Chain A
Amino acid sequence: MAVHEPSDRTLAGAVVGRGDEASFRALYRRHTPSLYPFVLRMVGGAEEDAEDVIQDTWVRAVRGLPSFRWESSFRTWLFGIGLNRARELLRRRKRQHASSELPEVGTDPPAHADRMDLERAIACLPDGYRTVLVLHDVEGFTHPEISERLEIAVGTSRSQLHHARRTLRTMLDPAEEIA
């Protein structure tokens, strides 16, 4: 017999209405398994950073639920928050790197990595390249959608993707393509 699963909206209503922990846990368990790898890729594979972003994302989501109008799916809305939180973390990290004069994560792929797996190569990309590549080639967003989400020009999105793919190919194998 099929078990009826409460909708996201029902669960969210219980969280907002009475702070219902069981409903929150149900939402968390439904969406975090897909949110986590997305955030992890966005932050370049740093697991502790990804956990911070996930926590921040859920806190902001629950806080913002009363004003969520359900014009998009809960998942889309949640991933949007996750994207923004991940970008904020990248900006913070960049500022820290700049002040400590350490090399920025992702700017220099390992010189000896003649071949590396795709996941690692994505993690080594510069933040801007990686953000657009993950959204476009992994998550399937179009350039206009990326442009809107990241508040950049469509041309910038295309250019970033072009450079990201070229860098990725070089990292994976100077003589071959990604596969």
Chain B
Amino acid sequence: MMRSGDHDRDRDDLTPGEREAFAALPKERVPPGGLEERVVGALRNQGLLASSPRRAEGTRIWRGWLVAAAAAGIALFASGMATGQWMGARNTADVVSAVLDGDALSRALQVQQAGSEYVRAVARLSDLADDLEVEVEDLRPGREAARAALHAAALELGRLAPEDATIQLVLAVLEDRGRRAEEGMVRTTIWF
């Protein structure tokens, strides 16, 4: 930002001592320690930066909270997602007919609410992942639970719409991942 050479005559109003005093003012300064993390956090929260890998050290949080938070999302998601897919898979006439039916309408609303709640629950989990004081291990049960819920929902969707190639692909990926996990590690999924 410093300009040179083209400074106008007002510069002459300063005495040599004054110029020296201004020139001696520090042009650089180490920013406060936590500021970088604060800025990065703000950018992440606004979706302007991707999430970073977790750091190894930090304080521990209560696992039960994570599991409970994930459980709430899972329960709502599993019931809601299936109904949503059912609605989506029907033709227009069926949908109109279903909407006229009070029970179907009520389930459709459940889908919308449960889906939103699931996304919010996972987002809250992701927020924890952005917290530098939360350890990776503490997040594992939540991640496993979220993934398991996704798998369960995909199974339901496959039952509802067996002709849907996208769902079949998702199922194939999830089942392949599940097989490999069972071969390589003990599962930590908690079912409700």
A residues in contact (CB < 8 Å) with B: 15, 18-21, 24-25, 28-29, 32-34, 36-38, 40, 47, 51, 54-55, 58-59, 62-63, 75-76, 79, 118-119, 136-145, 158, 161-162, 165, 177-179
CA gap between A165 and B3 in the complex, in Å: 20
Q: Which residues of B contact A145 (CB under 8 A)?
A: 3
Residue from A32, A59, A177 within 8 A of B31 (CB atoms): A32
Q: Which of B2, B30, B35, B39 contacts A59 (CB 8 A)?
A: B39
- Count, chain B residues at interface, CB 8 A: 39
Rounded to whole angstroms, the CA-CA distance of A179 and B22 in the bound complex is 9
- Whether A37 touches B29, Cβ cut-off 8 Å, given contacts A55-B35, A59-B39, is yes
Looking at chain B's contact residues, is the secondary structure mostly helix, strand, loop, or mixed?
Answer: loop
Interface check B8, CB cutoff 8 A: yes
A36 to B28: give the CA distance in the assembly, Å: 7
Contact yes or no, A38 B1, CB < 8 A = yes
Q: Which of B130-150 contact A (CB under 8 A)?
A: none
Contacts of A178 in B (CB 8 A): 14-15, 17-18, 21-22
Is B173 an interface residue, CB under 8 A from the partner? no
Distance of A70 Cα from B15 Cα, bound (Å): 38
Chosen A-B contacts, 10 in total, with CB atoms closer than 8 Å, are: A21-B52, A36-B31, A54-B31, A119-B25, A139-B1, A145-B3, A178-B17, A178-B22, A179-B15, A179-B17
Asked if B17 and A140 sit within 8 Å, CB to CB, the answer is: no
Q: A15 to chain B: which residues have CB within 8 Å?
A: 48-49
Chain A interface mostly:
helix
Q: Are A55 and B15 in contact (CB under 8 A)?
A: no
- B57 within 8 Å of A (CB atoms): no
Q: Identify 13 new A-B residue pairs, CB closer than 8 A, beyond the known A21-B44, A142-B7.
A: A33-B28, A33-B30, A34-B28, A36-B31, A47-B32, A54-B35, A55-B42, A59-B42, A79-B1, A137-B22, A140-B4, A143-B8, A165-B13
- Contact residue among A18, A36, A59, A140 (Cβ-Cβ distance under 8 Å from B29): A36
In contact, B36 and A29 (Cβ under 8 angstroms)? yes
Given A19-B49, A36-B29, check contact A137 B1 (CB 8 Å). no
Interface residue from B25, B38, B48 paired with A138 (Cβ < 8 Å): B25
B44–chain A nearest beta-carbon distance, Å? 8
Chain A: minimal CB distance from B117 (Å): 26
**Which residues of chain A are within 8 angstroms of B10 by Cβ–Cβ distance?**
136, 143, 158, 161-162
Chain B residues, CB < 8 A from A19: 47-50
Min CB gap B14→A, angstroms: 7
Chain B residues closer than 8 Å to A28, beta-carbon distance: 36, 39-40
Bound state CA distance, A112 and B96, in angstroms?
81
Contact A51–B8 (Cβ < 8 Å): no
- Kindly report which residue of chain A lies nearest to residue B44, judged by CB atoms: A21
> Does B14 lie within 8 Å of A63, measured CB to CB?
no
